[in-house]
Amino acid sequence: MPYDDSPPPTRRARPLAVAAALAAVSLTAAGCGGEQSDRPDAAPPRPGADGVSPSASASASASASASGKPLPKGPLTGRTVVIDPGHNPGNRDHTREINEQVDMGTGRKECDTTGTSTNDGYAEARFTLDVSHRLRALLEAEGARVRLTHDADRPFGPCVDERARIGNEAKADAVVSVHADGSAVGNRGFHVILPARVKGGGADTTPIVKSSADLGARIAGHFARTTGSAPSNYVGGKTGLDTRDDLGGLNLSTVPKVFVECGNMRDPEDAALLTSESWRQKAAQGMADGVSSYLKG
């Protein structure tokens, strides 16, 4: 969930529909090829639990996988992907810190939020880490250098400005922020949030709007095909794509970036999927296939 516990209002959908994305997927196969409310500032990066700046840890060896083993050679060799697991399991114990205002480029918002959860208590922060680990493994298997903005290795955060900065400093070819929504019962399906054209303060998304839209459309198409989930019935006009200008993690990005809201944790039917290990693997695979399709061009 991007960073409020309330669902965002339906916003203008990009003209790229999931059907078009799925058509692009078919061509590629044929050989033609979360933050609900953001918050970050120009404050210096906060140290992690080990006293090391997450930006520094994210800049670790580019030639090694998360396990420390050499990366295999593959179609994504030489490409860098940053995965941003939404929220942090420790945020709930650091409400004062995460409520501090930070700069989101065009205004100020809280550093982060706790995220949402299922009615049975499965936290979004746990979900996002699990899916992010699966996504990292899949991308590394294709040779990509993968970095996480955090791995629950710090007390809270990072703040949304720092999340954007980690991707920028890594000069990532793509950034995916993993989330799940917290909307009303009956609101179902996934959606991918794209950056709006924003220019003001420290934000200028002009250079990344088009590439992020391409990345998002490819992820939406593959996600739908792999998971069997339908595009959201309450956000994005059933295209599976939603454009927003109020998320610091997108506003402050200088590299292609999207948020993926994998489903609605407050709807029992969606919650049954989100709590399923086999479905989470499919979700990670759908995102990995979309990222791979985008990076291969």
Give kind and range of the element (H or E) at residue 2: none
Of the candidates 124, 122, 51, the one whose C-alpha atom is nearest the C-alpha of residue 87 is 124
Please answer whether residues 131 and 276 qualify as being in contact, where contact means their C-beta atoms are separated by less than 8 angstroms. no
Nearest-angstrom CA–CA distance, 33 and 240: 22
With contact defined as beta carbons under 8 Å apart, do 225 and 283 qualify? no
> 33, 75 in Cβ contact below 8 A?
no
**Residue 277 a catalytic site member:** no
Q: How many residues does the chain have?
A: 297
Q: For CA atoms 48, 34, 187, 223, give the dihedral sign.
A: negative
Of 124, 169, 261, 277, the active-site residue reads 261
Query: Which residues are known to be catalytic?
Result: 261
